[in-house]
Amino acid sequence: MASIKFNFSRLKNIYSDAWSKKDPTIAFEIRLGAGCFVFMMFLSKEDSDKNDRLFIYFRNIETPHQIKLYGYHLGGSFDAYISKKEEDLIRQELQLQGGGNPFNFNAFLNELNDNIPQFLPPT
């Protein structure tokens, strides 16, 4: 399976807000279905490569994972290339083993993106 290119575009507001407030950490949790996904980004003006990493902790399966992001983030481009490994981790987190209803992975990624908060609580 080839990687799926996906833009986590709804990160734009909280990413821009974190930069403007000089807040180096973005963290939030999304619960979808049986899954619990904790997203984290760490911002650094000294090491711009760090700004391109999205960390996801899959709470049910207790697994951290890192995804490289591409694009101009302040402009709303947070392109990730989702591999078979990431898809498998998401399926495990959602407890989707075996048969049952068909799972639309692209629709799930869109739902995950739609649930990204647009404002983070004050720190």
Nearest CA-CA partner of 14 in 59, 76, 66, 89 = 76
Query: What is the per-residue pLDDT for 116?
Result: 97
DSSP state of 49: G
Digit-coded pLDDT (tens) for 6-29: 999 999 999 999 988 888 889 999
Query: What is the per-residue pLDDT for 44?
Result: 73
Distant-in-sequence, close-in-space partners of 90: CB < 8 Å, separation ≥ 6 = 35, 58, 105, 108
Residue segments in the chain with a per-residue pLDDT below the cut of 70: 1, 47-51, 98-100, 123
Query: What is the per-residue pLDDT for 16?
Result: 93
Query: What is the per-residue pLDDT for 22?
Result: 86
Q: 């993106």: which residue's tokens?
A: 113
